[in-house]
Structure 1
């Protein structure tokens, strides 16, 4: 597993609440949900390498 780098993310409380609800609905942690959202956005934008192991 790749090493993960922690960082602070400031979000509007209402936005965070919606992400937390979405995460709970999909049985993920809030952090896992944010990571999934970012991964999907990068994939959709064509910003991930085609043969990336994390590109499932």
Structure 2
């Protein structure tokens, strides 16, 4: 996967607590959970661009 872009994300406290519990349930960090959810959302929306030579599971 190459380098990751860093940026500040502000979330409503209740939303953060919900994502925090969800991430614990799935044994992920909050950061990894947010990245997973965003990735799934862009794929579902048909906006995910595959790089040549990569399979969808990578």
| TM > 0.5 fold call | yes
- Report the TM-score, using the length of structure 2 for normalisation: 0.85
1:17 Cα deviation from its structure 2 partner: 0.2
Larger-gyration structure (1/2): 2
On the 8 A contact 1:23/1:30 being kept in 2, the answer is yes
Identify unmatched segments of 5+ residues in structure 1.
none
- Report the TM-score, using the length of structure 1 for normalisation: 0.87
CA distance in structure 2 between the partners assigned to 1:21 and 1:54 by the alignment:
30
| Structure 1 runs of 4+ with >3 Å offset | 51-55
How many pairs are equivalent?
55
Alpha-carbon RMSD: 1.5
